[in-house]
Amino acid sequence: MQSAGNAANDNFARHGGVHFRNNASAQEINNYIRKLPAGKRESLFEVLDQLDQAGLITVLNDHVFTDGNGVIGGDTGNDRGQSEQA
């Protein structure tokens, strides 16, 4: 997971680029994940959903994502790696 830089608790999932905010310490989050049943830890999105439901993070449905390189706004595949405007 990568920090967004704007707010100390804002982050983006490394794979999938989902924007979320921490509501608990990294240690609390890691302890919670370790206690999840194996079936609830199979996908990153399942883990994020479980953490959101437990109140340890807040998934921000603001349509801000990162690409696989951590670029906010993502890559649409053009040669400069920048998002294209409509």
pLDDT per position as a tens digit, 64-82 = 555 556 566 655 554 444 4
Give the pLDDT of residue 71: 63
CB neighbour class for 65 (10 Å; exposed up to 12, middle 13-18, buried from 19):
middle
2, 15 Cβ separation under 8 angstroms: no
Q: 29-39 pLDDT, tens per residue?
A: 999 999 999 99
Which runs of consecutive H residues, i.e. helices, occur in 1-86? Answer: 26-35, 44-53
How far apart CA 65 and CA 2 sit, in angstroms, is: 11
Cβ–Cβ contacts within 10 Å for residue 18, how many?
A: 21
Has residue 53 got a pLDDT over 60?
A: yes
18, 45 Cβ separation under 8 angstroms: yes
